[in-house]
Structure 1
Amino acid sequence: MWPERLAEPASPGAAGGDPLPALAAMPAMMRRRVEPLGRIALHAAYASRGADAPLPVVFASRYGDVARSITLLRQLVGGETPSPTAFSLSVHNAIGALWSIASGDTAPYTAIAAGDETVEAAFIEALGLLADGTPAAMVVCYDEPLPPPYDIYAGHADTAHAWACRVAPIDEGGFSLTSRLAGTDAVAAPADRVADRRVLEFFHSDAERLTHQAGARVWEWRRHA
């Protein structure tokens, strides 16, 4: 994960004093093309990569590399010709593509963006892979604050962060994820953390369950002994 204290509930999670990861596992020529968001996402992916790699990977980010897209839009408004390379790296699956190329992985990867339900959608995708017979999959969650002028649309105050985990079936224990329509008794989750960070904190805690309401849907994460 990045920063290393990301899973600590008591920490504000500010990344101001954390240097960007070196990303030494990636070839230097390719590493120079990676923006800060991609660097922290790939750092988390490399750290969670096990001996049974390559595995299918689900990259999950609500906003993706919006900063790069805004730069391209401003260049268009200013009459400049945007760089084709910059455009190719601005799409939502670009970080996954860099991972696949740099690692030489032939396993499938997916890029997920589902608003406030992005983390749940990512795990549903991973569980679908397991149901299809994949022995394990990796989920990589990452995001950074929306830059101006889109920052006014951010649902939560947050800082740049990334974390990854491996998902595999087990005979007993583990976690489950269910959803239902929100009833009149549903209570919205506190807005001090984005959803994926609350899920990470839940994984690292002893809590039995975590409830996350997103619009008309309530997601429930449960820990099983």
Structure 2
Amino acid sequence: MLNKKNILNFGILFIILSFSLSAESDYASAKSKYQEKNWKATIEEIAKIHDAGGNSYETHVLCAFAYNNLNDFTSSSAHFFQAMKFKPNEPRMRADHIRLFLNHDKTKGALELATEAIERFSEDPEIQFLYAYTLFRRGKPKTALNRVEKLKSISQNDAELLNLEGKIYYSLGNYDKADVSLKWASAINSDSAAIWNNLALVQEKLFLASRKSGKKKEASQYLTEAKDSIQKAISLNAKEVPISKNAERILSYSI
């Protein structure tokens, strides 16, 4: 399978960190602790605010971020749900909540959240993307692909969307189309190790199919491309274990 990229990329964090509540020194301290990457201290400071009855959207979201960084899914999700009570019409927070579920492979819960979100924010591109991605993760690639194709009419040059399209085509065994989508994605975002890795896996499949069919010229071309792609992925993220394993395998091939 294609390497699953960690997609938790909190879009509203900058809003929280810049939010000023000068009357609440504990909140200011919590933000400071978060910026210092002291997650436990962040949670402790917010607990003081909550104990004093100072629950707010901002405190719960910041606490959710802190718990996520401690890999505490249950607590992080609980605070997202609390934050939702304060601002039920905030799509960015809902998007981050869905990403949290996906990063912890809670795809059933992610689909429930994404379905609710898409009903409420049907025109929001990020929510639409996450709904499609969640459908794909739930084993519904064709339904996800239909969503992606509609979204592409709005965001034609979105590397993340094209990467998803490539992964879907790969899962369906349509390697030629996957190759086109991922080459396009890599042209838009050449600094993504995940995209180059996924492209290398597609080109590996094309190489193997061509070699099996006795098409040596095509096989040689695809193998060269696969090796180039995986080497670019390694140069960007050599510490990612799946990428390293893919590189070891792909670079060992010969015609």
- Could you say whether these structures have the same fold, taking a TM-score greater than 0.5 normalized by the shorter chain as the test? no
User: Which is strand-richer, 1 or 2?
Assistant: 1
Structure number with larger C-alpha Rg? 2
The structure whose RCO (Cα within 8 Å, separation 6+) is larger is: 1
User: Which is helix-richer, 1 or 2?
Assistant: 2
